[in-house]
């Protein structure tokens, strides 16, 4: 009872009650500002200029998609795309990444000058697509190059192999069958993703034709005709937001990359003279010893650089050419590459 009476007297004190009200006001303000109203919602803008899809470009585009996926303040995404496609596996990777993102938040794709083959495959993962009237879209199909010769060469008698196709992976007919299989798979993906919106026969879809944006909308390959403003408005509508801000995702990803690069190079400013001298000595010894290849010292140099940067690094010694991995093997390791790629009408005239 004495404690309650003491608390009552303190609460009745003007200074104490004022302090309590101030603390309560700060707490309520914090909850309202950071929890109830955390700020304006955002729409992320990703700009992909003319880009052939390779492992490297797919990795870079994937970093942009990952950024908007992780940022909860970004409620919708607009992707501005121009691409003739590229490698089959990287194109499929970007489709899966785009589809995964669209399952978390709306993704609206703006097809600019050219979105064909693997580029069009990527767009299939979006929630909604716009094209310009003069955009080129479509070109569903696959390229395998180079194919094995019609008449296979005679095997080297000094080599033994376990099967007739161990060296080439298959005959020319096998690879043509593989190309048809991949074409059918691409066509099935279009059918699944576009659904009832698609108004085109399977035969025409798989012919590899390219269409204008107007034709693409009419055939159901694209949802609507429009540009950036239409896409932003659509993204906001799909996300159910208003009074939003736009985020330049390209700039933000570049900023993060530069910050990480600076953190890696920063320890160089604290490198001791002894460490730099040791590194230079290794390099000079390698250059003076003509009989000793530099690759033999890359592991040591990599370890020293790791100490200099105070970070684990992957040494270039781990990247081997065929000559380094199989120095006595007589054959060149190669094989057909698979592309979802639009090569354009000029290819036919060559």
Q: What is the pTM of this model?
A: 0.73
* pLDDT of amino acid 261: 74
CB–CB of 123/81 below 8 Å? Answer: yes
Encode the chain (350 residues) as per-residue pLDDT tens digits: 555 555 455 455 555 455 555 556 665 555 544 444 457 899 999 999 999 999 999 999 999 999 999 999 999 999 999 999 999 999 999 999 999 999 999 999 999 999 999 999 999 999 999 999 999 999 999 998 877 777 666 666 666 677 777 777 777 888 889 999 999 999 999 999 999 999 999 999 999 999 999 999 999 999 999 999 999 999 999 999 999 999 999 999 999 888 877 776 665 556 666 766 666 676 666 656 655 555 555 555 555 555 555 444 444 444 455 555 566 665 566 677 888 999 887 554 44
Helices (H), 195-297: 202-205, 213-219, 228-239, 249-265, 273-288
* pLDDT of amino acid 317: 43
CB–CB of 100/62 below 8 Å? Answer: no
CA-CA distances (angstroms) from residue 290 to 294, 296, 302, 308, 317? 9, 12, 20, 27, 19
* pLDDT of amino acid 349: 44
Token reading at 12: 């009745």
* pLDDT of amino acid 9: 59
HEC string of 97-126? HHHHHHCCCCEEEEEEEEEECHHHHHHCCC
* pLDDT of amino acid 16: 47
Token reading at 164: 């007739």
CA distance 172 to 151: 9
CB-CB neighbours of 187 under 10 Å? 16
């Amino acid at each position: 009872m004495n404690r309650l009476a003491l608390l009552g007297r303190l609460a009745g004190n003007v200074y104490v009650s004022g302090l309590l009200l101030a603390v309560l006001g700060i707490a309520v303000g914090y909850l309202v500002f950071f929890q109830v109203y955390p700020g304006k919602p955002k729409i992320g803008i990703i700009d992909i200029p003319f880009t052939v899809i390779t492992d490297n470009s797919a990795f870079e585009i994937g970093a942009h998609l990952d950024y908007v996926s992780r940022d909860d303040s970004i409620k919708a995404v607009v992707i501005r795309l121009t691409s003739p496609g590229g490698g089959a596996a990287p194109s499929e990777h970007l489709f899966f990444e785009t589809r995964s993102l669209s399952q978390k938040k709306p993704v609206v794709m703006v097809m600019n000058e050219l979105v064909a083959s693997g580029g069009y495959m990527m767009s299939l993962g979006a929630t909604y697509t716009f094209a310009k009237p003069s955009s080129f879209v479509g070109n569903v199909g696959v390229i395998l190059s180079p194919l094995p010769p019609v008449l296979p060469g005679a095997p080297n008698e000094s080599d033994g192999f376990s099967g007739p196709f161990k060296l080439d992976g298959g005959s020319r007919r096998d690879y043509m069958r593989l190309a048809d299989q991949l074409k059918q798979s691409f066509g099935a993906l279009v059918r699944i993703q576009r659904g009832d919106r698609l108004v085109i026969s399977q035969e025409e879809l798989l012919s590899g034709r390219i269409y204008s944006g107007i034709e693409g909308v009419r055939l159901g390959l694209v949802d609507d005709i429009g540009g950036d403003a239409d896409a932003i408005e659509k993204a906001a509508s799909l996300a159910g937001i208003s009074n939003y801000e736009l985020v330049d995702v390209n700039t933000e990803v570049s900023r993060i990359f530069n910050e990480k690069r600076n953190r890696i190079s920063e320890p160089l400013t604290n490198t001791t003279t002894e460490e730099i001298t040791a590194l230079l000595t290794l390099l000079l010894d390698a250059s003076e010893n003509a009989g000793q290849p530099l690759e033999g010292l890359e592991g040591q140099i990599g370890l020293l650089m790791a100490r200099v940067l105070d970070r684990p690094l992957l040494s270039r010694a781990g990247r081997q050419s065929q000559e380094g991995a199989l120095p006595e093997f007589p054959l060149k390791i190669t094989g057909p590459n698979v592309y979802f790629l639009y090569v354009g009408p000029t290819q036919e005239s060559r």
